[in-house]
């Protein structure tokens, strides 16, 4: 029987962001944009959705005079990602 896939993580860009963040302590917005190939506007919207769900934390800071947005996965996000991967395995296993 197929398990339900988390619709928030089933989005290609949100899944890409979570896949990147699962392997690092944190990542800045520019790095995430380059890795995903997303536009700044689309990435910003998807980061906001993940933040509102409690899956990531977002810190707004500065590097010198330039604004810098840093994203970190939360424990809730790690659990949701692990559950998503397990559910996905029911489709391919």
Question: Where residue 72 sits, what CATH number does that domain have?
Answer: 1.10.10.10
Query: Exposed, middle or buried, 9 (CB in 10 Å: 0-12/13-18/19+)?
Result: buried
pLDDT at 34: 98
Q: Establish if 3 belongs to a structural domain.
A: no
What is the pLDDT, as a whole number, of residue 83? 97
pLDDT in tens, 19-68: 999 999 999 999 999 999 999 999 999 999 999 999 999 999 999 999 99
Task: Say what the pLDDT of residue 1 is.
Answer: 80
Report if residue 53 sits inside a domain.
yes
Structural domain count, the chain: 1
The answer to whether position 71 is within a domain reads yes
pTM of the predicted model as reported, rounded to 2 decimal places: 0.94
Task: Let me know if residue 7 belongs to a domain.
Answer: no
Q: Which pLDDT score, from 0 to 100, does residue 9 have?
A: 97
In a domain, 77, yes or no: yes
List pLDDT tens digits, range 5-14: 999 999 999 9
Residue 24 lies in a domain: yes
- Domain region containing 81: 12-92
In a domain? residue 72: yes
Q: In this model, does residue 88 exceed pLDDT 80? A: yes
Residue 1 inside a domain? The answer is no
Q: What pLDDT digit, counting tens, does each position of 63-83 carry?
A: 999 999 999 999 999 999 999
Asked if 76 and 57 count as a contact pair (C-beta separation under 8 A), the reply is no
């Amino acid at each position: 029987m197929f398990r339900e896939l988390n619709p928030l993580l089933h989005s290609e860009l949100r899944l890409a962001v979570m896949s990147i963040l699962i392997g690092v302590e944190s990542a800045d917005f520019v790095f995430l944009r380059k890795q995903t190939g997303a536009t700044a506007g689309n990435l910003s919207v998807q980061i906001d959705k993940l933040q509102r769900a409690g899956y990531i934390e977002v810190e707004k800071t500065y590097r010198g005079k330039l604004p810098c947005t840093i994203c970190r996965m939360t424990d809730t996000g790690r659990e949701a990602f692990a559950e998503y991967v397990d559910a996905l395995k029911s489709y391919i296993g």
